[in-house]
Amino acid sequence: MFDRLATSWFHLLGQPCFRVYGKARSERDWRMVEVHATRRRDHDSAWPPFLWRGTCITWTSQVIAVGWDFAEELLLEQAEEPASRDHPVEVLGGRLHGPQRLDQRPIQPWPSASEILAHECGHTYQARRLGLLYWPVGGAVTLFREGPHWYNHFENRASEQGLFGGIVNGSVCPALMNRLRRPESPKGPS
Ligand SMILES: [Zn+2]
């Protein structure tokens, strides 16, 4: 109920920059998830880094917020190597950061934008499961990031469970397409 209400509220704020297929490993069916872009989350944003500048956040089971620069990077990655529901992107070694990534082949010490989105898809599942509790629980522990402690469990599970099944055909908004055509053009709406 809360998840549905919160998602409806985000719909009032604007259109997504694209939609993606996402789910957790433990879910049977893919869900359609909206990705909303805002300048406040760009890497050069004047907003504080605490949950804003250069960060992605999952608000509900159907809404992920990112910066326009992240959305652009993800689209470029997907143009080169598209994910699909048959061949989804997962987080390498189940961790965005840390030594687990070094055990994988090929070694990629830093996560791609597609891996970060897979992690966020893991959070959409947590939002679906936790409902009203998702915001207080997520807000309390998300800043601890991944790690070996109990309070890292929330972030660890998002990386272990999240799957990104590709961008939904025809869902990329004109503002994002314009950014790709004219890299020096003014940034999209906030
Ligand atoms: Zn996270």
- More confident position, 100 or 37: 37
- Give 134-166 pLDDT, tens digit per residue: 888 888 888 788 899 998 999 999 999 999 999
- 11 inside domain: yes
Cα 185 to ligand 1 centroid, rounded to whole Å: 31
Domain coverage including residue 11: 2-181
Query: Omega of the bond prior to 106 within 30 degrees of 0, cis?
Result: yes
Is residue 80 one of the residues assigned to a domain? yes
Q: Tell how far CA 43 is from the center of its chain.
A: 15
Per the DSSP assignment, residues forming a β-bridge with 164 are: 22, 89
What's the pLDDT tens digit per position in 80-100? 999 999 999 999 999 999 888
Number of domains in the chain: 1
Residues, CB-to-ion distance under 5 Å, ligand 1: 155, 158
The reply to whether 188 falls in a domain is no
Residue type, 6: A
3-state SS assignment for residue 12: helix
How far does residue 81's CA lie from ligand 1's centre (Å)?
23
The Cα 35–Cα 56 span in angstroms is 10
